[in-house]
Amino acid sequence: MARSALDEARRLASAGKHAAVITLLEPKLPLFRDSHSYYYLLGSACLRSGDLGGANSYLRRAEQLEPADIDTRLCVAALQLRRGEAEKAIATYLSILEEKPGHRVATRALSRLRDSEILERVVDAGRSVELEPFLPASRAIPPSLLWSIVALLAIGAAVLAWPLAVSAWTSLSKASAPRGEVAAINLTTAELKAPVGSVGSARYILTEKEAVAAFERAKALLQEYRDNAARVELNRIVDSNASVTLKEKARTLLGFALPPDWRTLKDIPSFAALRADPLLYRECAVIWEGRAANISGSGAAREFDFLAGYGDRTRLDGILRVSVADPSIPVPVDNPFELLAFVEGGDDGLPRLRAIAVHELRDTKH
């Protein structure tokens, strides 16, 4: 009976009835906790229906279960386009072409992204981009047969696709080049001579050498796309005895940090580090496993206690309050989950988290 639900979902998806797919599958989550097909079909339907929060949660889980699945990765790339994350989407298409030269959807996607008008729409948060050309076809035929067809087509198209792949690689290299806006923020001779000011109420006391080194280290980390680590250095400068102009430039650099991503987030602080000095990690992103308790509110005004580290019920690192402003983000009640969130301060001075996305996990301990 469970299998027939997935077959029916495929039929509905191939007919373009994506809302019906969501209605059919969402109540059946307990039957398909470890089913890639379930999460892929549901995530794809959410994406096509405009539910980006649901699409993110379900597609990321599908990607966890089968990281090599091409269709899942194509949907993730389309989600990235809708969010304005062109660089990440291009990287996904290129990785697909490396594995499957001539892949039709990946090749077509890269070709469309070479159109400056389309790329400009993507950069503008992707709101006006038509997603269908970037998505795999909704299909009812068995995946095994589809892979056979794709393999045969790929062999014949490999030679023709090579120039496009080379062109796409050039585009990605340009997109991943050093961040010019970061490199343009430099300390003047006067700022280098007097990088610190009065101590006053500074939280961190830096020497002249330490202040300059922290600034340059933050720039280097931003160039490596290690935005979390860069934020720590810049937060330290902003709350230190650094000069007024050095602090202003630190704040400018903070504005260049990119939104966090499940796959690319680096330098994730530990719970212990955050509790020891929460201000140092404000607006850094975390990916922690745990459980939810004391859920309150509804819609775009939900909150819950996050039991960090308590996913397997054997260790509790601590508890933080989490706010959930996006009504599409699920808050699992009975299962552990991974939480992607920003660190922020509460009215009581204690650290809080602001949820960005959730990955529900299978509960292995009952």
Predicted confidence at residue 16, as pLDDT, reads 85
Percent of the chain with pLDDT strictly greater than 70: 82
Cβ-defined contacts of 273-276 (< 8 Å, 24+): 274/343, 274/351, 275/318, 275/351
Judged by average pLDDT, the poorest of 146-150, 209-213, 270-274, 330-334 is: 146-150
At 222 the pLDDT is 94
Do 169 and 66 reside in the same domain of the chain? yes
What pTM does this model have? 0.53
Q: Give the range of the structural domain holding residue 230, as residue numbers without chain letter.
A: 180-254
pLDDT band, residue 347 (cuts 50/70/90): low
Q: Domain for residue 284, yes or no?
A: yes
Higher pLDDT, 354 or 87: 354
Asked if pLDDT for residue 328 goes beyond 70, the answer is yes
Average pLDDT, rounded, for the chain: 83
332-346 pLDDT, tens per residue? Answer: 988 999 999 999 975
* 265 located within any domain: no
Question: What are phi and psi for residue 116, nearest 5 degrees?
Answer: -60, -35
Q: Say whether both 18 and 165 belong to one domain.
A: yes
Does residue 24 lie within any of the structural domains? yes
pLDDT digits 0-9 by tens, 126-167: 455 677 788 887 654 444 444 454 555 555 445 444 454 444
Residue 194 lies in a domain: yes
Last residue of one domain, picked from the residues 212, 228, 254: 254
Mark which of 175, 206, 232 sits at the end of a domain: 175
Strands 351-360 and 285-296: unpaired
75-88: average pLDDT = 86
Assess whether 168 and 194 both reside in one domain.
Answer: no
- According to DSSP, residue 131 is labeled -
Number of domains in the chain: 3
* Claim to verify: residue 17 and residue 68 sit in the same structural domain: yes
- Distance between CA atoms of residues 195 and 191, nearest Å: 5
Domain shared by 301 and 351, yes or no? yes
Give the range among 3-12, 121-130, 273-282 with minimum mean pLDDT: 121-130
302 pLDDT exceeds 90? Answer: yes
Residue 77 falls inside a structural domain: yes
Over residues 220-243, mean pLDDT? 95
CATH of the domain at 300: 2.40.50.140
Residue 104 near residue 153 (C-beta atoms within 8 A): yes
Look at residue 164 in the predicted model and tell me its pLDDT: 41
List pLDDT tens digits, range 6-54.
889 899 988 888 889 999 998 888 788 789 999 999 999 988 888 888 8
pLDDT at position 146: 46
Sequence-ordered list of residues with C-beta below 8 angstroms from that of 17, at least 6 positions apart, any chain: none
Same domain for 285 and 355, yes or no, is: yes
Displacement of CA 147 from its chain's centroid (Å): 28
Residue 173, pLDDT score = 43
Domain match, 8 and 134 both:
yes
**pLDDT mean over 227-244:** 96
Instruction: Supply the pLDDT for residue 169.
Output: 43
Q: Do 11 and 126 fall within a single domain?
A: yes
Is 153 within a domain?
yes
Same domain, 193 and 169: no
Is 84 found in the same domain as 16? yes
pLDDT at position 149: 47
Residue 366 has pLDDT above 70, yes or no: no
227 and 331, same domain (yes or no)? no
Query: Is 5 a residue whose pLDDT tops 80?
Result: yes
- Rounded Cα distance between 92 and 96, Å, is 6
Bridge partners of residue 285, in order along the sequence: 342
Same domain flag for 237 and 309: no
**Domain termination residue (choose one: 135, 152, 175):** 175
Complete DSSP assignment for 66-119 = -TT-HHHHHHHHHHHHHTT-HHHHHHHHHHHHHHSTT-HHHHHHHHHHTSHHHH
- CATH of residue 53: 1.25.40.10
pLDDT band at 124 (very low <50, low <70, confident <90, very high): low
Q: What is the pLDDT of residue 365?
A: 59
Is 365 part of a structural domain of the chain? no
Q: Are 25 and 4 in contact (CB under 8 A)?
A: no
The verdict on residue 259 lying in a domain is no
pLDDT attached to residue 151: 57
Q: Provide the strand spans (E) within the chain.
A: 285-296, 302-308, 318-324, 337-345, 351-360
Six-digit token string for 326: 């996006």
- Asked if 278 and 351 count as a contact pair (C-beta separation under 8 A), the reply is yes
